[in-house]
């Protein structure tokens, strides 16, 4: 799914409403990392050195622009910061649009956690910031199900519990800081889901956010159009899965009694050559080869329309 954001400023402008919403829960949102993202974005667009360089140049054709190394490195760093800031904004706006009418103590507790920590992730990110993004990913997966009219249960032992048409789903959500952590996170998900005593029409799912593993490799590339951006993300996700194929198969088999599949999620804001921004998302579902027909049918039913569930939020 590749959604066009000609008016991404409109999304940014919703941050004032987001901050007020969070504040209504008694959360000190105006002093949180979410209050800083608009400034980080503006820092890129207010690059005076770049502005002087680009004067009288065709900024709609990046191929004509060649920067010296120092200006290039500074501009690239600002660009990465700006794009990561937009990603953070898009995600909290999704949660705001989806869950703003919900009044639940457990939701409030999760919202208190997601605003904590530093505004940008680095290789040396402290646990507090990493944990905030873990909870954020849980709420994003909940938002997908919510927009597919699932009933959400917030008071749970697993990250996600949703229900619709007498089918109940228990989900464990794991966000990778790097590819080397995949086995550790799958092992955690296995341990947590195995504790659930699943009854008839109750199923488990594992969701893994791999955005951090491919983020910089994608946004550093100069992309001609949205189709190429979409294909690049699909290629990157498929390569990730191929590199880890044996490990994924191993854990799918280990979890087959309590998990229908491992769902890999990549969410990368993508700029193309004409300066248009897209919210580029790929969800790849890998089920165990030996999954029985009934469970495979349930998997398809549960995730029917899942990849498009958030599209209407940005129309």
Mean pLDDT for the stretch of residues 24-44: 90
Phi, psi for 148 (deg, rounded to 5): -105, 15
pLDDT band at 315 (very low <50, low <70, confident <90, very high): low
pLDDT digits (tens, 9 = 90+) for 260-282: 999 999 998 888 888 788 888 99
Instruction: Return the higher-pLDDT residue of 64 and 255.
Output: 255
pLDDT band at 294 (very low <50, low <70, confident <90, very high): very high
pLDDT digits (tens, 9 = 90+) for 70-110: 777 787 888 889 889 999 999 999 999 999 988 888 899 99
For the record, the structure tokens of 23 come out as 């504040």
User: Which pLDDT value is given to residue 124?
Assistant: 45
> Cα separation of 280 and 228, whole Å?
11
Per-residue exposure over 225-242, b if at least 16 CB sit within 10 Å of its own CB, e if not: ebebbbebbeebbeebee
pLDDT digits (tens, 9 = 90+) for 132-142: 999 999 999 99
> Cα separation of 158 and 52, whole Å?
53
DSSP track, 193-248: HTTS---TTEEEEEEEE-HHHHHHHHHTS-BSSHHHHHHHHHHHHHHHHHHTHHHH
Mean pLDDT for the stretch of residues 138-164: 92
> Cα separation of 140 and 283, whole Å?
13
pLDDT digits (tens, 9 = 90+) for 101-111: 888 888 999 99
The answer to whether the CB of 170 falls within 8 A of the CB of 205 is: yes
User: Which pLDDT value is given to residue 129?
Assistant: 65
DSSP state of 108: H
The answer to whether the CB of 82 falls within 8 A of the CB of 219 is: no
Is the model's pLDDT at 123 over the cut of 80?
no
> Cα separation of 150 and 136, whole Å?
19
Is the model's pLDDT at 170 over the cut of 70?
yes
pLDDT band at 42 (very low <50, low <70, confident <90, very high): confident
Task: Give residue 49's Cα distance to chain centre.
Answer: 33
Instruction: Return the higher-pLDDT residue of 169 and 68.
Output: 169
User: Which pLDDT value is given to residue 8?
Assistant: 66
For residue 310, the tally of other CB atoms under 10 A from its CB is 23
Mean pLDDT for the stretch of residues 281-310: 94
The answer to whether the CB of 143 falls within 8 A of the CB of 154 is: no
The answer to whether the CB of 285 falls within 8 A of the CB of 295 is: no
pLDDT band at 60 (very low <50, low <70, confident <90, very high): low
């Amino acid at each position: 799914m590749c959604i066009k954001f000609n008016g991404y400023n409109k999304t940014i402008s919703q941050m004032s409403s987001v901050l007020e919403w969070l504040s209504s829960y008694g959360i000190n949102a105006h002093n949180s990392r979410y209050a800083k993202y608009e400034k980080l974005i503006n820092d890129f667009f207010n690059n005076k050195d770049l502005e002087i360089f680009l004067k009288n140049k065709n900024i709609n054709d990046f191929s004509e622009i060649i920067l010296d190394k120092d200006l290039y490195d500074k501009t690239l760093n600002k660009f990465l910061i700006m794009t990561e800031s937009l990603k953070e904004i898009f995600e909290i706006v999704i949660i705001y649009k989806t869950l703003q009418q919900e009044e639940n103590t457990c939701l409030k507790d999760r919202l208190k956690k997601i605003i904590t920590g530093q505004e940008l992730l680095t290789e040396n990110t402290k646990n507090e910031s990493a944990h905030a993004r873990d909870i954020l990913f849980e709420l994003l997966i909940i938002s997908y199900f919510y927009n597919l009219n699932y009933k959400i249960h917030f008071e749970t032992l697993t990250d996600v519990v949703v229900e619709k048409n007498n089918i109940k789903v228990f989900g464990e959500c794991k966000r990778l800081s790097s590819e080397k952590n995949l086995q550790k996170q799958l092992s955690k998900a296995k341990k947590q889901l195995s504790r659930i005593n699943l009854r008839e029409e109750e199923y488990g799912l594992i969701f893994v956010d791999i955005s951090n593993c491919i983020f910089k490799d994608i946004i550093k590339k100069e992309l001609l159009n949205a189709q190429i951006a979409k294909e690049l993300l699909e290629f990157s996700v498929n390569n990730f899965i191929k590199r880890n194929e044996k490990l994924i198969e191993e854990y799918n088999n280990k979890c087959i009694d309590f998990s229908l599949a491992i769902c890999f999620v990549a969410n990368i804001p993508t700029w193309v050559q004409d300066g248009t921004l897209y919210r580029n998302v790929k969800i790849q579902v890998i089920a165990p080869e030996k999954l029985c027909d009934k469970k495979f049918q349930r998997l398809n039913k549960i995730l029917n329309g899942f990849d498009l569930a958030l599209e209407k939020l940005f129309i």
